[in-house]
Chains A and B, each alone.
Chain A
Amino acid sequence: MTRFLRIARIGSEGLKLHPLRSLLTALGIIIGVGTVIYMLAVIEGRGAEIQERIKARGSNNIILRARKPQDDTKASATRSREVVYGLTYEDARRIHDTFKEVDVLVPVRDVASAVYNGDARSDTVTMATVPWYLDVSRGSLQHGRWFTDLEMSDATPVAVLGATLARSLFLWKDPVGASVRIGSKVYAIIGVLEATVTSDERESLKRDRAAYIPLTTVRERFGERNVKTATGSMDIERVELHEIILQVKDAKDVVSISEGVRTMLARFHTNEDYEIDVPLALLEEAQRESNKAKQLFGSIAAISLLVGGIGIMNIMLASVTERTREIGIRRALGARRSDITLQFLVETLILSVAGGIIGIVCGISAAALHEQFVTDSHTMVTAMSVVLAFGISAFVGVLAGLYPAVRASAMDPIEALRHE
């Protein structure tokens, strides 16, 4: 065994003399490192989840939605109880003509009629749209197929069912090949969608419970009116388009185009009967929030590690004073100054590194517990945060240990021997 290892072992044995004191000394580092790991795991986990859900909605998309104006008097009521609002084909045409960066434009019209499979009935929304809806909305088919351009132009009565709707109308049977009745007309089922996961739960729910039919079939079969029956009274709403999804070629144009669209729509819609949803803006916002949280907790963690380091240094200084006589004895028996430095430095390093390791274990456990007990939470312990925490604790150890160790080795052996 080398001299280095022999002396390092003295340092480690010094810690065993006062196990409780060693533990308490390391506690600052344990708590500091544990907090860093835990906090970062929660922030990373949450951030990753939000980003995934936002991306699932298409980060190149801008979604325009019709919104019933809050104040009825503001809405242009052509007749009593008939409310006209929302997006129009004219809006879609204008956007298409004005913004060349918009690659694809998907109009969607909601049809508020129950969907029937024989006697089984589902009160749901049917979304009348275009063949390229599936691509742009990032949906995917469980099986079967989506409707074609030909079916669109011919206004063929075909329907694709959302996952939840298919389940509720057909249970475990395969709906493809069967048919459903929507309103008074019968549609052949050609496909079933996968369940969706997006950042907007209401939106996911709506999509999964919807039936999808070619927009052309609706213009013919349902006219321009949507009739909603609600608890006895009858509300008549006239909405041309409930949703327009714009897909922008380049992600960097998304925000500026969304602003352009907002300005343009404001000119033709005086009553704010629409809303604009920009997943990318949300994504950027989420990333900013996540970074801000990381910075905040990073600085708190830095402070707690600093406090931990000061705690260690304090105890080590006391320990050096307490063991002055021992230092004198060791020097008289042949220890070099560097041997004494090493002995105390190793002691501090073991304290802080062991504290760091325990802290990492505690942090990872806390993150796991968090995921277990907080519903709908995901945590993510990154290798980066572990390396960072470990590195910082070792660094704090060296920093906190150096001064006491050098002070111990700088003692005059005769003075040290005389110390009571």
Chain B
Amino acid sequence: MGDAVVRALDGVDLVIGKGEFVAVMGPSGSGKSTLLNLLGCLDRPDQGQYLLDGQDVASLHDDELSALRSARLGFIFQSFNLIQSLNVVQNIGLPLVYGDCDPAEAEARSRKLAARVGLTDRCSHRPMELSGGQQQRVAIARSLANNPVIILADEPTGNLDSRTGNEIMALLAELHAEGRTIVMVTHEDDIAAKAQRVVTMRDGRVQHDTGVRS
């Protein structure tokens, strides 16, 4: 790594309220993903604090972070991150393996979610057999499996054409309407425009914050 210390995030002071739909924008390398990983309890800050529901994440043990991710957070990635060896239903049900859910119940729930994202007839397909848009819908269904209050999406439309991108945005809007908190990274203005609030980053700092728009 050399001696140069990279401050991926520097002096970020951000409060995100319950039920907000926040878009994080900024050029490549500005720290958007790092911020999202922090919010998702995948990473911990070297300095500073991240309070999730008033609890300091830094004080939590690795297993407690896992439990937090399992219970409250849903992830959607730019590259979908589905497991190729599992079919659609199995991918959707993955978070339930680590929650406390009976396999039969998990399967029923996964099928319901597959139906919700319009993949009823694709349940036994593998990710390889699906289009990009369909794969991202599987990922969204998966992020909902444990019924999380917070959904973190890192460029969810980044690998999709604008039409399928809009379909995905419609789904996210639905989830927001259900009262979930959504933090989404994007660098497309028209995608960001669909959020309530846009936070723009540059060099690890918050450059601009629109605040919640009605």
A: which residues have CB within 8 A of B? 1, 3, 6-7, 10, 14, 17, 325-326, 328-339, 413-414, 417
Determine the main DSSP class of A at the interface with B: helix
Closest to B82 in A: A329
Q: Is the CB of B103 within 8 A of A1?
A: yes
Q: Is the CB of B97 within 8 A of A6?
A: yes
The verdict on B67 contacting chain A, using a C-beta distance below 8 Å, is yes
Supplied contacts A6-B103, A334-B71, A417-B81, 12 more A-B pairs, CB within 8 Å: A329-B82, A329-B83, A331-B66, A332-B69, A333-B98, A334-B66, A334-B69, A334-B146, A335-B66, A336-B67, A338-B63, A414-B42
| Residues of B contacting A3 in the complex (Cβ-Cβ under 8 angstroms) | 98, 100
On whether A333 and B103 interact (CB within 8 A), knowing A7-B97, A417-B81, the answer reads no
B: which residues have CB within 8 A of A? 37, 40, 42-43, 62-63, 66-67, 69-71, 75, 77, 81-83, 85, 94-95, 97-100, 102-103, 142, 146
Whole-angstrom CA separation of A339 from B42 in the bound complex: 16
Whole-angstrom CA separation of A333 from B99 in the bound complex: 9
Q: Is the CB of B66 within 8 A of A417?
A: no
On whether A334 and B42 interact (CB within 8 A), knowing A325-B81, A417-B81, the answer reads no
Residue from B83, B98, B102 in contact with A334 in the complex, judged by beta carbons closer than 8 Å: B98
Q: Is the CB of A332 within 8 A of B75?
A: yes
| Residues of B contacting A7 in the complex (Cβ-Cβ under 8 angstroms) | 97
Closest to B66 in A: A336
| Residues of A contacting B98 in the complex (Cβ-Cβ under 8 angstroms) | 3, 330, 333-336, 339
Q: Is the CB of A334 within 8 A of B43?
A: no
Whole-angstrom CA separation of A1 from B105 in the bound complex: 11
Whole-angstrom CA separation of A17 from B83 in the bound complex: 12
Q: 4 closest A-B pairs (Cβ-Cβ)?
A: A334-B70, A334-B98, A336-B66, A333-B95
Closest to B81 in A: A329
Residue from A1, A17, A334, A414 in contact with B37 in the complex, judged by beta carbons closer than 8 Å: A414
Q: Is the CB of B63 within 8 A of A417?
A: no
Q: B67, B81, B98: which has the most chain A beta carbons within 10 Å?
A: B98
From residue B195, how far is it (CB to closest CB) to chain A in Å?
22
| Residues of A contacting B95 in the complex (Cβ-Cβ under 8 angstroms) | 333-334
Q: List 22 A-B contacts (CB under 8 A).
A: A1-B102, A3-B100, A6-B97, A7-B97, A10-B97, A17-B85, A325-B81, A329-B82, A330-B98, A331-B66, A332-B40, A333-B95, A334-B66, A334-B71, A334-B95, A336-B66, A336-B67, A337-B62, A337-B63, A338-B63, A414-B42, A417-B42
